[in-house]
Each structure stands twice: as structure tokens, then as C-alpha cells.
């Protein structure tokens, strides 16, 4: 796990372990000519729930963009489901970072989930009851909505729902194609603490029940700590990956940030990172109506 | 109704016979029908995509286009379609995401709009200085539609609606959820350009009938009303087209029997419908917690 740029030593895409969903070898990503992170090696196995952590601007979302091939790596290799990024996008459910739908968005939650299933197909959909394909699609949409527990409000306009309700429907949208990988960019950001825990528990249940690999970008690890298998931590132009207890430690983070950093554990098991050069990312709960 | 409707017998059959007695009226009804269906469908997507400002820009730019074509001795339709097409291409360049802040962009477009209106006025003055030309370019020539114009409109509308049907679902995806659509492989940039061109076509076709300033009566108001009524995409599109048709037919019908212009009736009817629907939904919302549960 080096934080230095490497040009060679990257593993060819073929040498992927069985059961591995994502691998980066000596990877460097640049935006506007400047490296966001470099020399990153990481490996995520199928069915793991992984948090992507780090301060603002450390390249958390950049990782998701690389995996979706929205941004090519400038050095190193990336493998997603045993192919190059982009080759398996139909098997990836993606939830981008967003501020939510405003109240003027007059489309039902159900329609949004349905678009996740067949929104890329050309043409105009026939009414659901007419075609067999339409009936199958409607059933799958219903299943996905049930899985996230959003049946009670899926028929209301998405703009009229609370942040937590919107987030559940968006997760259903990302899930509706039965993806093997879920990439969730700050899905907890606009939620209050209790909803953060509820959505994290939901994501973990889906991860285990459906065997989906989940990468979840988060500002604060504590609300999701108990649900995680592994974490990827970006800081200081590099990134490390491992179990939360391996990565969120003073020595590992000190090496990553390049300055002495301490990790304190509170009596209730919360982790507090102290001494980072940039102000640590705080969670700002916005008001979110409960269910 | 306080307004006297001369010649109206209140007998539907004989009134319809009166309405369709003259070819100009039949052609107005045909052209109105074509334009209403097209504007209702494309307008629904425009309102969903929040591109009413782009639509407004296109309609304002249509005026100097038509006036310039008249001055140059070209067919007015060429002026409408040519200028709207060019303006749609230009808009797609200006409104690329991340280019400029939306406010400075809209200020720039607003400046061009004002200049466009000025140019149009100049062209009309240079042509003959007759006020009637200015009036018909700005407020429409419902009753001056020729059979050839109806045929052109029909061709344009069929092509536009066919294209809309092909790109409909990905366009809906890109309109409500651009980032996810892009990641899923929807060509959002190409769709945005295609839609602006469709919008240009719709504005040009509508402007030929309603004039540059009254385009919105068919393009925005029915669509906005439909989106108030339902959040279902299919039903919303159908209602938007039905409302555009209803106000066009009613407007033409009432205008035939009244001394006031068609443009006034079409805009008033669509405005009245919009207000009525908003009030009704407001009342329903106050009564029950989720009045839209069944409807929406």
C-alpha cells in the first residue's frame, strides 16, 4: 500500500483472484492535469460492504468515476468484474452524489425506479398490462421497491418525499437491474443520524442477502462502522484499503496524511481522527422528516 | 357570458356546420390540431426539463426570422424554421453544463432576445411599415393558413413526433436523472441537442399559427397544467396534448362567433384552465392528506 506514484508493477487485468469484484494496481487518477491520488492498490471481493472515506477533495468520488470509466486512469490498471472499467457497467448500480429532487419534480418514485431498469432502451414503453415484458418489468420494479421498504410512498411524486424516502427509492433504482456491484456516492449525506443508520443497515442487508458488492462513499464512518467489512481511505494524494481496524489507526493514517495523526476510540466504539492537516470532515445533519 | 357571440345558434350540429363552412376555417382547425398535438407533447418534455427559458428564447428569435424572410422575399416558414434551428444549435452550445453560471447565461440570452426583437421590428418597418404585418408575426395568423401550409406542418409534426417517440424513454431518463442516465450509457449530450432541435421545430411550427408571442399558450400552459394533474409520464403527455387540442379548438370556435381574436381566446382558455386546476388541486390538498395518491 504505497502512497507514491508508480508507473510499473501494475498487475495486468487478467491476474484477478477468483471472487474478486474490483482491483486497482498502481493506479493514478488525474483531474485537470493534477493527480487526485496516485500509486493506489486495492482489491475488493464479491459481496463485501466497503466504505470509501477521506477528507473533502481526496478523490472518493473519483474512484467511483474510474470504476464506471467516466474518468480514465492516467497510470496503472483497474479491473471491474474481470474486465476493464466500462465493460461491465450494465452490472453496476450507481447512485451519484446529489442534493435530492426539488419539490417541482413531477415524476413518481415508481417511474424513477422503472427508468433504472429500462430507461436506456430506445422507443416508448407500451402500457404495462399489454406486453409480457412490461408485466415482468413492473414486477421487478415492485420487488426492488419492496426490498428497500418504499412501497408506501412509491406512487407519490419524488419531489414531494423526504430525503430519506428519496434515498431509499434511489437505492431501489440502483438495485433494480440486479447489479453485482453497487456504487453509492454519499447516500447518507442529506440524512439525519437515525436515517443514516437505517439506510446503512438496509444497504448491509441487501449486500448480504443479494451478494452485491457495495462501495459506499461517506463523510463520517461512525454511523456505518458496525456494518462494514472493509474501508478504503483516501488522503494526502494516496489511498489505503483494509478492515476498519487496520486502516483507521494512528500509524496508517499518519503515513497517509504525512503528518502525525491520532485515532481515539470513545467508550461507545466511535472513532475520532485527530490532528489531520485539513479540518476533519464533519457531518452536518440537515432536517429530514422521518417515516 | 356577457360577450355576444354573433351567429351562434347554440345548436351544436348547425354551429359545427357554420364553423366548417369556409375553407379558411377548416384549414385553421387542421393546422391548429397538428400544432396543438406537437406542442403538447414537446412542451411536456420542455417543462419537465425546465427549459421554458430556452423555449421562450426560441419563440422570440422566431420573430426576426420571419420578418427577415418576409423582407428578403422568402417564404415565412423558411424564416421560422431556419432561425429556430440555428438558435437551437446555438443554445445547445451556450447551455452546456459547467460552462458558465446559469444566471450569466440567462443574462446573455436575454440580451440576444432584446436585440432579436429590435431586429424584427426593423425588418417589418423596412418591408412596408404596415402594422398588420407586425401584428400577424407577433400574434398569429390563425385564419390565414393555406392548404400548402397545413401539409408542411403535418410533415414536420409527424417527423418530430416520430423522433420523439424513438428517443422518448432515454430522454425521460436523461431529463429527470441526468447523472445516472449518463452512467448507464444514455447519450445525454446528443439527446439534449436533439431535444433542443425538436423544440425549435415545435416553436417554429406553433409560431406560424399563433405568432411569436403566443407560442407559450400551446407549448407551456397545457404541459404545466398536465404536470399539476398527474406525475405519471404517459398520462401527463396524453393530458398535455389533450388540453392543447381543447384550447385550440375552443379558441378557434369561440373566435369565429365573437369579435375578439383567436390568439386572445386560446391564451385565455389555457390560462383559465391552468388557474382552475391549481385552485382545484389546492382545495383537494387541504381536504385530505394525500389527495394525489390515487391520481398521481
Taking only the tens place, the pLDDT of each residue in A126-180 is 666 677 888 889 999 999 999 888 999 999 999 889 888 998 999 999 999 999 9
Domain count, chain B: 1
Distance, in Å, from the CA atom of A217 to the CA atom of A5, rounded to the nearest integer, reads 23
For residues A212 and A286, membership in a common domain is answered with yes
Residues A188, A273 within the same domain = yes
Question: Which residue, of A131, A153, A178, is where some domain finishes?
Answer: A178
Residue A8 and residue A80 share a domain? yes
At residue B105, the pLDDT reads: 65
With contact defined as beta carbons under 8 Å apart, do B48 and B175 qualify? yes
- The ipTM estimated for the assembled molecules is 0.80
Q: Indicate whether B161 belongs to any domain.
A: yes
Pairing of strands A230-235, A49-53: parallel
Tell me if B212 sits within 8 A of B138, measured CB to CB. yes
Chain A, 221-240: which have a CB under 8 Å from a chain B CB? none
- Would you call A122 and B169 a contact, using CB atoms and an 8 Å cutoff? yes
- Number of domains comprising chain A: 2
We report the CATH number of the domain holding residue B28 as 1.10.3470.10
Query: Cβ(A147)–Cβ(A206) under 8 Å?
Result: yes
Of A160, A178, A196, the last residue of a domain is A178
Please give the pLDDT value at position A23.
95
Residue A93: inside a domain, yes or no? no
- Asked whether the beta carbons of residue A119 and residue B170 sit closer than 8 angstroms, the reply is yes
Claim to verify: residue A269 and residue A220 sit in the same structural domain:
yes
Cβ neighbours of residue B296 closer than 8 Å, sequence gap 6 or more? A108, A155, A156, A157, B230, B231, B232
Do residue A198 and residue A153 come from a single domain? Answer: no
pLDDT one-digit tens code per residue, B143-177: 778 888 899 999 999 999 999 999 999 999 999 98
Q: Which residues contact A172 (CB under 8 A, 6 or more apart)?
A: A113, A116, A144, A145, A147, A148, A150
Task: Check whether residue A172 and residue A209 sit in a common domain.
Answer: no
CA distance, residue A97 to nearest chain B CA (Å): 9
**What is the residue range of B199's domain?**
12-295
pLDDT score for B117: 86
State how far Cα B274 lies from the chain centre.
Answer: 15
Are A236 and A280 within one domain? yes
Please tell me the distance in Å from B172's CA to the nearest CA on chain A.
8
Q: Which residue of B has its CA nearest to A161?
A: B290
B187 touching chain A per CB within 8 A:
no
CATH of the domain at A74: 3.40.50.300
Low-confidence ranges of chain A (pLDDT < 70): 1-18, 99, 126-129, 278-291
Most confident by average pLDDT, B61-70, B71-80, B202-211, B270-279: B270-279
- Shared domain for A190 and A66, answered yes or no, is yes
| Buried/exposed B17-42: b ≥16 CB within 10 Å, e otherwise | ebbeeeeebebbbbbbbbbbbbbbbb
Q: Which pLDDT does position B6 carry in this prediction?
A: 64
Q: Tell me, yes or no, whether B230 lies in a domain.
A: yes
Can you give the pLDDT at residue A10?
41
Residues A40, A140 within the same domain: no
Chain B neighbors of A68, CB-CB under 8 A: 183
A231 and A284 co-located in one domain: yes
Same domain, A174 and A184: no
**Domain assignment present for B2:** no
Cα(A189)–Cα(A192) distance, rounded to whole angstroms? 8
- Find residue A93's DSSP bridge partners: A182
CB of B169 less than 8 A from some CB of A: yes
Chain A contact for B180, CB < 8 A? yes
| Structural domain span for residue A162 | 99-178
Would residue A32 count as lying in a domain? yes
- Whether B101 has a pLDDT exceeding 50, the answer reads no
Cell 474501508 belongs to residue: A231
Residue B7 lies in a domain: no
Name the domain boundary from A178, A208, A231: A178
Same domain, A203 and A279: yes
Q: Is residue A94 part of a domain?
A: no
Amino acid at each position: 500500500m504505497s502512497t507514491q506514484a508508480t508507473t510499473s508493477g501494475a498487475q495486468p487485468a487478467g491476474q484477478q483472484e477468483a471472487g474478486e469484484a474490483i482491483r486497482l494496481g498502481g493506479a493514478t487518477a488525474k483531474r485537470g492535469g493534477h493527480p487526485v491520488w496516485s500509486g493506489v492498490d486495492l482489491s475488493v471481493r464479491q459481496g463485501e460492504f466497503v466504505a470509501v472515506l477521506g477528507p473533502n477533495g481526496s478523490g472518493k468520488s473519483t474512484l467511483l468515476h474510474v470504476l464506471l470509466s467516466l474518468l480514465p486512469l492516467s497510470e496503472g490498471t483497474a479491473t471491474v468484474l474481470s474486465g476493464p472499467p466500462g465493460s461491465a457497467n450494465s452490472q453496476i448500480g450507481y447512485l451519484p452524489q446529489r442534493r435530492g429532487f426539488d419539490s417541482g419534480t413531477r415524476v413518481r418514485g415508481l417511474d424513477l425506479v422503472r427508468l433504472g431498469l429500462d430507461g436506456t432502451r430506445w422507443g416508448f414503453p407500451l402500457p404495462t398490462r399489454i406486453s409480457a415484458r412490461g408485466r415482468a418489468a413492473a414486477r421487478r420494479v415492485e420487488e426492488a421497491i419492496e426490498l428497500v421498504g418504499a412501497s408506501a410512498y412509491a406512487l407519490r411524486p419524488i419531489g414531494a418525499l423526504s430525503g430519506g424516502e428519496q434515498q431509499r427509492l434511489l437505492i431501489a433504482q440502483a438495485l433494480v437491474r440486479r447489479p453485482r456491484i453497487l456504487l453509492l456516492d454519499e447516500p447518507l449525506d442529506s440524512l439525519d443520524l437515525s436515517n443514516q443508520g437505517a439506510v446503512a443497515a438496509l444497504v448491509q442487508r441487501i449486500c448480504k442477502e443479494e451478494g452485491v458488492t457495495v462501495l459506499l462513499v461517506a463523510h463520517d464512518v461512525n454511523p456505518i462502522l458496525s456494518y462494514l467489512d472493509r474501508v478504503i481511505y483516501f488522503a494526502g494524494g494516496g489511498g489505503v484499503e483494509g478492515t476498519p481496524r487496520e486502516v483507521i489507526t494512528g500509524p496508517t493514517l499518519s503515513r497517509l496524511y504525512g503528518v502525525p495523526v491520532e485515532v481515539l476510540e470513545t467508550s461507545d466504539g466511535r472513532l475520532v481522527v485527530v490532528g489531520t492537516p485539513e479540518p476533519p470532515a464533519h457531518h452536518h445533519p440537515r432536517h429530514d422528516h422521518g417515516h | 357570458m356577457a360577450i355576444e357571440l354573433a351567429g351562434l345558434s347554440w345548436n351544436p350540429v348547425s354551429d359545427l356546420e357554420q364553423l366548417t363552412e369556409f375553407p379558411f376555417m377548416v384549414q385553421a382547425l387542421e393546422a391548429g390540431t397538428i400544432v396543438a398535438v406537437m406542442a403538447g407533447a414537446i412542451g411536456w418534455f420542455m417543462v419537465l426539463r425546465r427549459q421554458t427559458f430556452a423555449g421562450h428564447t426560441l419563440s422570440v428569435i422566431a420573430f426576426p426570422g420571419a420578418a427577415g424572410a418576409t423582407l428578403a422575399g422568402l417564404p415565412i416558414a423558411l424564416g421560422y424554421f431556419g432561425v429556430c434551428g440555428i438558435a437551437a444549435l446555438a443554445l445547445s452550445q451556450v447551455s452546456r453544463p459547467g460552462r458558465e453560471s446559469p444566471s450569466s447565461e440567462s443574462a446573455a440570452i436575454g440580451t440576444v432576445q432584446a436585440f432579436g426583437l429590435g431586429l424584427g421590428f426593423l425588418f417589418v418597418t423596412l418591408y412596408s411599415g404596415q402594422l398588420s404585418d407586425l401584428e400577424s408575426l407577433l400574434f398569429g395568423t390563425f385564419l390565414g393558413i393555406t392548404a400548402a401550409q397545413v401539409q408542411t406542418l403535418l410533415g414536420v409534426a409527424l417527423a418530430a413526433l416520430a423522433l420523439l417517440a424513438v428517443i422518448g424513454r432515454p430522454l425521460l431518463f436523461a431529463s429527470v436523472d441526468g447523472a445516472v442516465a449518463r452512467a448507464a450509457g444514455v447519450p445525454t449530450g446528443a439527446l439534449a441537442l436533439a431535444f433542443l432541435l425538436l423544440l425549435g421545430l415545435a416553436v417554429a411550427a406553433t409560431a406560424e399559427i399563433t405568432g411569436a408571442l403566443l407560442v407559450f399558450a400551446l407549448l407551456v400552459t397545457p404541459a404545466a397544467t398536465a404536470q399539476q394533474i398527474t406525475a405519471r409520464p404517459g398520462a401527463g403527455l396524453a393530458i398535455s396534448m389533450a388540453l392543447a387540442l381543447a384550447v385550440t379548438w375552443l379558441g378557434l370556435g369561440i373566435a369565429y362567433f365573437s369579435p375578439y381574436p383567436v390568439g386572445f381566446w386560446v391564451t385565455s382558455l389555457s390560462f383559465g384552465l391552468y388557474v382552475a386546476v391549481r385552485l382545484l388541486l389546492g382545495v383537494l390538498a387541504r381536504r385530505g392528506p394525500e389527495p394525489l395518491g390515487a391520481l398521481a
